[in-house]
Amino acid sequence: MSEISLTVNGRRVSASVEDRTLLVHFLREHLGLTGTHVGCDTSQCGACVVHVDGKAMKSCSMLAAQASGSDVITIEGIANGGDLHPVQAAFKEHHGLQCGFCTPGMIMTTVDMIARHPEGLDEATVREELEGNICRCTGYHNIVKAVLAASKTMSKASKGKAKKAA
Q: Which residues bind another protein (CB under 8 A)?
A: 18, 20, 28, 32-42, 44-45, 47, 74-76, 79, 84, 88, 91-93, 95, 97-104, 107, 123, 126-128, 130-131, 133-144
Q: How far is the CB of 142 from another protein (least distance, A)?
A: 6
Contacts 24+ apart (CB under 8 A), 113-116: 113/56, 113/147, 113/151, 114/87, 114/147, 114/150, 114/151, 114/154, 114/155, 115/54
| Strand blocks (E) in the chain | 2-8, 11-17, 49-52, 55-58, 71-73
Q: Which is nearer to another protein, 7 or 44 (CB)?
A: 44
Q: Which is nearer to another protein, 45 or 69 (CB)?
A: 45
Q: How far is the CB of 131 from another protein (least distance, A)?
A: 6
Amino acid, single-letter form, for residue 17: V
Q: Which is nearer to another protein, 6 or 144 (CB)?
A: 144
Report d(CA 66, CA 31) in Å as an integer: 17
Q: Look at residues 26, 28, 146 and name the one whose alpha carbon lies nearest to residue 98.
A: 146
Q: How far is the CB of 52 from another protein (least distance, A)?
A: 16
Q: Which is nearer to another protein, 69 or 100 (CB)?
A: 100
Q: How far is the CB of 7 from another protein (least distance, A)?
A: 17
